Amino acid sequence: MSETTHNRPSAGIAFVLAGMAAISINDMLIKQLSEGYPLHQIIFTRSAIGLIFTLVLVQLEGGWAILRTAHPGLHLLRGALIVVSNMCFFVALAVIPLADATALFFAAPLFITVLSIPILGEKVGPLRIGAVLVGFAGVLIMQRPWANGEMLDASRTVLLMPVLGALTYAIMQLMTRKLGATSKASAMTVYIQMVFILVSLGFWLVAGDGRFAQDTGSPSLRFLFRAWVWPSSGDWPTLVGLGLNSAVIGYCLAQAYRLADAATVAPFEYALLPMAVFWGWLLWAELPDAAIWIGMALIVASGLFVFLREKQNKRRIARAAIKRR
């Protein structure tokens, strides 16, 4: 594939914005379902339905042949990373407000910028590293280290879950950039859906009867280990919508990180923050407190600085190349 095809920042940004809109709907729907279904059942149903839609995309991008890969182990690892990322985020989402969980998860673009140095060999200067440190200060503020347990909405462990999810998500997206050189977006989405299905079935075999949820007082653990139940007729449209949405998310994010540098695409994931605040306010009358707003502001400011600095550096390199001609 040509360099032009693999370096299309405008297309990468458009795909990541579409993916963020789909993720905001996904998170809102899963939070709505978290009181009645276990997480692994929701993920299984979502992925099984999403796989059907994704296979349609496979046909549009070249047919069954594009599912062949020379790196099955790396695709399996990528799928495992996103499974861990999702589970960390959603067990926290069952307890804390949507905007809070989303804001904490936005350590991901910071991790992406830092890890793109050793993993992808991308150059990130001291100013951008400084901006990333400001962003991590925002994450620390949202953890409220000055507060005791009674002042927090959830345990310290639950508050750290979205950050762990952010780290595994960042590594997964950097792998997307590497694997995208030889794999289509729809094929990479199929691999992830298959890993989700296999892991969910494993949870069902071990904990599908709800035995591990009976004696726990933790809402997060109940959400993770609750017994499977047959969905009500009113919930099927939501589950089908989740499946379609998962196909959209997987395809859009895979395309975004295939087509543009990770440090360019990642800051645009911040568009998810106002969407999460909107859904939380509209459906659960939740609004972030002062610590979350301050943390959000620091993270967004650092991300925008990283993005603008990236653009400035690219313009400088382009001008130097023209002068050498």
Q: Do residues 98 and 276 make contact, with C-beta atoms less than 8 angstroms apart? A: yes
Residues of the chain with pLDDT under 70: 1-6, 149-150, 180-181, 263, 310-311, 313-325
Q: How many angstroms from the chain centroid is the CA of residue 242?
A: 15
Amino acid identity of residue 98, one-letter, is L
Strand, coil or helix: 227: coil
- Closest alpha carbon to 157 in 82, 84, 88, 85: 88
Q: Do residues 210 and 226 make contact, with C-beta atoms less than 8 angstroms apart? A: yes
- The pLDDT tens digits for 201-231 are 999 999 999 988 887 778 888 898 999 999 9
Overall pTM surpassing 0.85 (yes/no): no
Tokens in use for 4?
A: 């032009």
Q: Do residues 249 and 46 make contact, with C-beta atoms less than 8 angstroms apart? A: no
Q: How far apart are CA 40 and CA 230, in angstroms?
A: 13
Q: List alpha helices for the chain, DSSP H.
A: 3-6, 9-33, 39-61, 72-93, 98-105, 108-120, 126-142, 156-179, 185-207, 219-225, 236-259, 262-265, 272-284, 290-324
Residue length of the chain: 325
Tokens in use for 152?
A: 């927090």
- The pLDDT tens digits for 142-183 are 988 888 766 777 788 889 999 999 999 899 888 877 776 677
